[in-house]
Amino acid sequence: PLLHILSGLSPQIPIVFLNTGYLFPETLTFRDSVASTLGLRVVDLRPDVAKSEQRTPDGRLLFASDPDRCCHINKVVVLDAYLRNYDVWISGVRAQQTSTRGQFQIEQQGPHSTLRYHPILDWTSKEIYAYRKAHDLPEHPLDVEGYESIGCMPCTVRPFVSMDPRAARWAGTTKTECGIHTELAHPRDDQR
């Protein structure tokens, strides 16, 4: 819904897409389809650190051994650098998604004096569904397959029936956020 709303305001609004290099192919196809349909100006942001360098000193892949650091390199650092050039960041987070997001306000100060604006923060899943249906907006193909929270391939599983949708991200860990919506943007000294 947020992309549809923004497309009606101005086609010049940059729509930031964090392309970690680990996304589902369906996500990339969906991005291109939605961008074309809505006439969006998508800015594809990618990390500067090569995947071959994203390992622990003993050679383990970061997404499996240190997902916080993996998210930091592939999302937080990339978005942080981009947002330094903007006064406002409009985000589609919703309070219903996680307890962390449940504490957010519609407007709040972000890093580097960037105002974070969450216009659909109070929308429920039912309202998202109703809006999508009312405006004939497409559904992510993995939603149809049972995924309710879609992120990077190595860190996303199809949820079990009784599973919280966000628990399907970083399954088997207590992690529920990648870091771009939290103040986890500052890594430990040993991660710099």
In a domain, 126, yes or no: yes
**Structural domain of 134:** 2-140
Instruction: Compute the Cα dihedral for 80, 173, 65, 145 and give only its sign.
Output: negative
In a domain, 152, yes or no: no
For the record, the structure tokens of 110 come out as 């972000």
Q: Which amino acid is at 134?
A: A
Max CA pair span of the chain: 52
For the entire predicted model, the pTM comes to 0.85
In a domain, 48, yes or no: yes
Q: How many Å apart are CA 192 and CA 187, to the nearest integer?
A: 7
Q: What is the mean pLDDT of each run of 10 residues along the chain (192 residues)?
A: 96 95 97 97 97 93 93 94 94 88 88 90 95 96 89 86 63 76 44 34
CATH code at position 116? 3.40.50.620
- Quote the Cα angle for 130-142-76, to 5°: 95
Instruction: Determine the pLDDT at residue 191.
Output: 32
Q: How many Å apart are CA 13 and CA 160, to the nearest integer?
A: 37
Judge contact between 155 and 37, C-beta under 8 A: no
In a domain, 187, yes or no: no
In a domain, 54, yes or no: yes
Instruction: Determine the pLDDT at residue 188.
Output: 32
Instruction: Determine the pLDDT at residue 190.
Output: 35
Q: Which amino acid is at 91?
A: S
Q: How many Å apart are CA 94 and CA 119, to the nearest integer?
A: 9
Instruction: Determine the pLDDT at residue 192.
Output: 36
Instruction: Determine the pLDDT at residue 152.
Output: 94
Instruction: Determine the pLDDT at residue 187.
Output: 31
In a domain, 71, yes or no: yes
In a domain, 145, yes or no: no
Catalytic: 155? Answer: no
Q: Which amino acid is at 105?
A: Q
Chain position carrying tokens 């995947």: 51
In a domain, 114, yes or no: yes
For the record, the structure tokens of 20 come out as 């970690």
Report the number of distinct structural domains present in the chain: 1
Judge contact between 184 and 175, C-beta under 8 A: no
